[in-house]
Structure 1
């Protein structure tokens, strides 16, 4: 099997793994209806939390992160290490644009973080640290994720992870595109702050 066919197979399978909408599956199995019809309409953990089921939100968060991590680790140890970061990016794209849901998926942060930790635990810790620092300063979850993701390719480059920083930069770009509404609210000062009570 040639490298090109192997690469395509790995990326396709990683994409299909990433496209599994755990948030939607869990809420439907729990009898909570279609998660896309409440809150932000997103399939991620934050919107699942709006149902009041913290357990389902946590499960969604862990499995959405796990999609990226599994794609990276399986590719690294059983296929080709040089494809690992690309496999994580493919799973990330699957989450954001899932074929099972008409290519309308989540914003990708959890899957991005899972991918980072699998690529390098130091990279994942750096993201978490940057997120926490930004959250402490600005008290806005989405802004914290945007800041941490923006700096992640630079951290990857600093850690000398080779060309792995390029898929990370690509995922960061997609995260910014997926958060365009959040960015607009941040610019207007309308984005909800962490811990703020709803009026």
Structure 2
């Protein structure tokens, strides 16, 4: 592993440690997402406040945290396996942020960002999978888990040399959802869709 690879891993982790959900919530004078809704500092939990603009900014910034270091590493011709480590470092920064007492989110949007350099076809498949799963089941966490499990399959047919790298990243995302998996099994997980519906007259 070269020095530039080590520096990129550190850069990715530090960038991932910037909690977009917390900072945007403060900017919009919204409740701290770590103490509101599901307690997860991510875009879907910010969306539960009803402020779609704030949620959109959180989503975009979380994606950018993953895209930037991986794209830079790809530009520097770093090998696929080390690209995976850089992508995982960005996600680990989001999950365990150095600047926010190591209490972070699930890393789904950041993981999506790490995969954007593979092409818009890959991004489109992942987004479509997440939206379809959310529409069918209503659970943001389940949609994220299903999409993470499908990601290695998609990349196998698009850019097979990155299959192992994406599989490692997918395992990290699924493991991070272990509490959600338990709540889903016991029918205790909160749906996202019904929370966003406006009450009837």
TM alignment of 1:1-199, pairs within 5 A: 3-32=1-30, 34-77=32-75, 79-82=76-79, 83-162=82-161, 164-197=162-195
Q: Which runs of 5+ in 1 are unaligned?
A: none
Provide the aligned C-alpha RMSD in A. 2.2
Provide the rounded CA distance (Å) in 1 between the counterparts of 2:73 and 2:48: 34
Deviation at 1:95, TM superposition (A): 0.7
- Checking the alignment, whether the CA contact within 8 Å between 2:25 and 2:54 is kept in structure 1 is yes
User: Residues 160, 34 of structure 1: CA spacing in aligned structure 2 closer, same or farther, 3 A cutoff?
Assistant: closer
Aligned length: 195
Which is worse superposed, 130-139 or 114-123?
Answer: 130-139
Deviation at 1:73, TM superposition (A): 1.3
TM-score by length of structure 1 reads 0.86
Deviations 1:5-63 (A, max 9, x none): 11101111111111111111111233335332222222111222233322111100111
Q: Which runs of 5+ in 2 are unaligned?
A: none
TM-score by length of structure 2 reads 0.86
- Checking the alignment, whether the CA contact within 8 Å between 1:89 and 1:167 is kept in structure 2 is no
Structure number with greater CO (CA < 8 Å, separation at least 6) is 2
Which is worse superposed, 165-174 or 103-112?
Answer: 165-174
